[in-house]
Amino acid sequence: MLKPQGTLIDLRPLAGNWPVDVVSGRSSQEAGRVSDLAAGLEDDAAANQTMARAAEQDWFRRESEELFPFHYYWDSPNEMKAYIEEEWEDFVHISDNVWKSARSLWTLGGAESRLRVRVNMLITRWEKVN
Amino acid sequence: MTLQKDPEQNEPKYLHRHADLAGKRVLEVGCGDGRLTWRYAGVARHVTGIDLDRDSLRVATIERGSDVEDKVAFAQADSVRLPLAGAAFECAILAWSF
């Protein structure tokens, strides 16, 4: 399937209590952080174990690795809340305090304010050994 | 709902930094609606995108640009049971497959 010396790219978000920001123009203010739930942590651990085993078996060799931010933006707190509850309910939770803080900062920020979640992404390049 | 994902385009930037996809046959596992696929398909030789979600694949097919129409194919499948016997790829991308 993957040719010898072929490249495998593992690209995925890592749990890590992602920051919730309110962005207005070029400035941003952190309203708090999401709380990781067990499913996300377990997924990370399972993926890490799978790739570690592939390296131990000498199936793949790690060539490079890097973290980078992946941003989600919403126009309002309600839109962010609806998305998180529908798409991320198994992975993260946002406390009432963080919601209140995000709403307050968004209201103070004016019409151009947006909500942002900074997802921590991991990209790893593996080379197939044989 | 107004949602923007990665408007800074960090994801394709880092993908290209770590993988030379030019002229390669690429398998993307977990392609979803093709959001990432369209950002590198132009340089690849051919892309096969697989995902379990039929609705996402439908969106990906609808949004497929005419310039890459001939070199991108989608299939509903998971990585354990690939319906691609005999296919060989120079690069595989596990995209958000968590």
Distance from CA of A58 to the nearest CA of B (A): 18
Nearest to A2 by CA among B97, B49, B27: B27
The answer for residues whose C-beta is within 8 angstroms of residue A43's C-beta and 6 or more apart is: A15, A91, B98
The string of pLDDT tens digits covering residues A16-57 is 999 999 999 889 999 999 999 999 899 999 999 999 999 999
Probe site for chain B from A75, A92, A106, A123 (most B CB atoms < 10 A): A123
Tokens 């697989």: give the residue: B50
pLDDT at B1: 57
The string of pLDDT tens digits covering residues A65-81 is 999 999 999 999 999 99
Cβ–Cβ < 8 Å for A44, A122: no
What are the DSSP calls for A6-31, one per residue? EEEEEEEEE-S--EEEEEETTEEEEE
pLDDT at A130: 77
**What ipTM did this prediction achieve?**
0.92
Q: Hey, are the CB atoms on B14 and A6 less than 8 Å from each other?
A: no
The string of pLDDT tens digits covering residues B48-81 is 999 999 999 999 998 888 888 889 999 998 777 7
In chain B, residues with a C-beta closer than 8 Å to the C-beta of A66 are 14, 17-18
Give the count of Cβ contacts less than 8 A between chain A and B: 103
